[in-house]
Structure formats: structure tokens, C-alpha cells
Structure 1
Amino acid sequence: MISSDPFRQHAEHLRQWRSRFVCRSVNREAYLANMPWPVLTRETNNPSRTTTWTHVLSSLLKCICVSCGHHRRSRAFIESLLPVSPRMSRPTCLPLIAVIVAGNVCFLQPSVCASATIDVYYAPEDHPIDRVVSLYARATRYIYVSVYGLTAPSVVKALVEAKHRGVDVRVITDRERLNDPKQQSAVKTLRLAGVPIRINRHEALMHLKQVVIDDAINASGSANHTTSGNRYNDERLDVITDARLTAKARDKFLTMWNDRERFVVWTE
């Protein structure tokens, strides 16, 4: 007798079909014709290699459960997750293996994406450079600045103060932009405070407006570190709090910093 509870009915129905599935004597054609759900098949020399959604979903749930953990790169552990049914072929399981290998996907590691934030500020209404100055004031380890225009007194002051706190402050700026007396004065002030400065030696512009702070925050956009970029121009600044994206921005800065062919120490 089958219970009126729909969940129990489904469980009983599933049990019956599973028992039919693992039975080697079942007639394949009749079995497929009476299946209440889709069947995945892989045509091989062995026609018995038929995989139902039941096996796929059960294995997929196992994969998702472990894909966020430290086991996801263990081949032996992955192999142990594969279904042991004689009708389950290894080629059919390849999508399940891919799920584990791709364990860095956001929906498998929600903790990584859940902590990421992007705050967007527009000039002139949001005074984006003031936001950057507040980030400089909270830095404890390092501040890596690659910016085309750097003349705002508030920025220079914040970077000097950070240097005095023991923060590793480095600046990359554009060679041609240093023809501006205001920028030259600002950069000299930073250098006198002990902040190392590098400039591009290649013919193109060093046109980045990027800040990287403490492996936690990176900021970029259209706004230069200038009074105009803060109060008058139409500009945008994105402040991104995400370890992975910040690491990428940090690596880009350090690649430029260590590239002796394209960037040199400013000594004027």
C-alpha cells in the first residue's frame, strides 16, 4: 500500500525505479520506455552504460558539498565520489569532475563573493578623492598608487602621514605629467618624505588611476588625484573590497614597479 503523503510516494517510487535500474536482467528498451524522468545515455560498445538523473544529481550534490573544502584538489578523493553503479561510465562522470575542479566558482564558494563590495562615487557630488584620502588614513601595511595626475594637497598630506606611520608607500606616475609645476611640487614633497617615485620611460602614457591598499581594497576609475578630479570634473571612482581582485591589482602594480625597461626611478 502506498501512502497518501506525496513525499513518501515519491520516495517509494524512486526506490522501485532504482531497484529496477540496478537489476542486470531488466529489459533495456522497456526500461527506458517506462522511465518517469529523462535518461542520460552515452553510446559505447556496452549498451548497459546508462546513467539516470538520480545518479547524476546524487553525485553532483556530493561534489558541491566538497568543492568548497580542502579535498577538492585531491584526485583520490574525487575518484571516491564517482558512482559505483556498473551502468555508470567514467566519461559520463566528466562533468561532475569538472564541477569539483572549478571549485573557485562563486556559487560554490559563496563566502568569497559574499564579502566583496563595490562602492561607486561620482564627482563632483561625492568628492571621490576625499574617499581615497580616508582610505589612506586607515592603511596599516602598504599603499601602492599608480596615478596620472597627482596634485591634490590632501592626497599628498595623507600619503606623507602614512609613510611616517611606517606604511610602505610607493607611487608610479606619468613622465610627461611631471611637466606640470603643481605635480612636480607634489611629487617632490613625497620624495622628501621618503616615498619612492617611479615614472614611465616608454612613449605611451602611464594613464592608470589605481590605488591598492593592504591586500584588501583597491580603487580605480577616471578620477585623478587632483582638486579638479574631486570637485569639478565629471568623474567616477570604484572602491572594491575583495581580496582576489585586490591581489590582481597589487600584482599589476608590482609588475610595473619591477619593470626596469619601462619604468625608472624619478630623481629630479
Structure 2
Amino acid sequence: MKYRFFSVLCLCIGNPLAYADSSLVARGQRLLHPQDSASAFAPSASFKICFVPNGRSCQDLLVEEINNARRSLLIQAYSFTSAPIAAAVKNAKERGVDVRVILDKSQVSQRYSSATFLRNAAIPVVIDTRPAIAHNKVMIFDGAAVFTGSFNFTKSAQERNAENGILIRGDEKIVKAYVDNWNERCKVSTPY
């Protein structure tokens, strides 16, 4: 499983849709297990990437995907203070999307956290208190697409930091792995 993580990272090196080639493996730079390089993603998988500050807006990509969600939206966030993303999440809940959120324990004491805003919008929020830091930045849309990367769901991440994100759609195994991880973290979290 650890090599699958590196295959996602390879998407952000050079051509975002290229996999590590055999020359990397030959030089001893094993970014991928050789067996994973050709089959790391389902043939039907598609990708959208974002980079801030000088690329496609990660915030805009997330708001667009949240607005397109129809059935479910699972969120894991280390830091979540973006007003546009929080508003889109609230709107999704209001149109009947099953929205559930896991936040890092730092969000309980943050002055500008979305934890209270989301809870007041009748969105179930739990706090992942077990690890030192719940550093995940993940959204899972309709059980069909996953967004992940360094991008925190914050104004600072969008406007001041160098960040990246990738949306992977159409790969059932990857989506299932993220859903399974979301469920495992939810089980050990406490209600907000």
C-alpha cells in the first residue's frame, strides 16, 4: 500500500498524468513499485490538479466539486477556515447531500474554525483526537471522487501559501481506500 501513496505523488512531478518510468527505477529512485507503475489507477480514472498561488485555484476546484455533489460528501480537515468552502458545504447539506466532517482537535480551540459553523448547519462534526495531529486534507464526493493534497481548507492556503491538490475521479479502489480510512478515523473520533 505504501507504493500506491507514492504513485499519487508522482502525478505532481512533471506531466501530472504520467507514471514513474523504468529509468527512475533503474537509477535506484524507487518512487513506485515496478508492478504498480502501469496499473496504479483504473483505466477510467480522470484527474484535476490545482496549485496555488500560480495555478488553478484549489478553493475554486473544491467549491465546484462540492456544488456538484448529489449524494454524499465526506471531509477530513486539519484546518478548515475557508468561508467559501464552508458555505458550499452548508449549501450541499441544505440540498440534501449527506455531509459528515472529521476535524483535527486544533479546530476546537481555533477562533475562526468552521467546526461551530458546520455543527450549527446540522452537519455532523467529529474531532479526531487520538493522533498528535490529524493532518488529513481530504474530501470524498458521492463515493466516486477524492480530493487530497497539501491544501488546507483555509484562506491562507489559497492566498498566501504554495499548495497543491489533486482530484481523482473514477477509480473505485482509491475511493474505497479513502472511504475506509475516513470510516476508521470516524470510529475513533469524538462528537463535537
Identity of aligned residues (%): 27
Query: 1:216 offset after TM fit, Å?
Result: 1.0
Matched, 1:264 2:185: no
Residue 264 of structure 1 aligns with an amino acid whose one-letter code is: T
Q: Give the alignment's Cα RMSD to 1 decimal.
A: 1.8
- Contact 1:199 1:265 (8 Å CA) reproduced: yes
- Separation in structure 1 between the aligned mates of residue 37 and residue 144 of structure 2, nearest angstrom: 18
Q: CA deviation at 1:250?
A: 0.8
1:123 aligns with 2:49: no
Q: Is the 8 A contact 1:106 1:113 kept in 2?
A: no
Q: Is the 8 A contact 1:199 1:264 kept in 2?
A: yes
Look up the equivalent residue of 2:65 and give its one-letter code.
L
Higher relative contact order (CA 8 A, sep 6+): 2
SS for the counterpart of 2:42 is helix
Give the corresponding residue for 1:235: 163
1:133 to 55, 63, 66: 63
Alignment-mate amino acid for residue 117 of structure 2: T
| TM-score, scaled relative to structure 1 | 0.54
Residue by residue, what CA displacement relative to the aligned partner does 1:150-196 show, whole Å, maximum 9, x if unpaired? Answer: 0111011101110011111011111123322001xx22111111101
Larger strand share, 1 or 2: 2
1:224 aligns with 2:141: no
Bigger helix fraction: 1
Runs of 5+ in structure 2 lacking a partner? Answer: 1-35
Please, what TM-score do these two structures have when normalized by structure 2? 0.75
2:127 is the alignment partner of 1:199: yes
Matches for 1:108-257 after TM superposition, within 5 Å = 113-125=42-54, 126-183=56-113, 186-241=114-169, 242-257=171-186
Aligned counterparts of 1:190 and 1:162: Cα–Cα separation in 2 = 11
Q: Matched residues in 2 for 1:253 and 1:199: separation?
A: 12
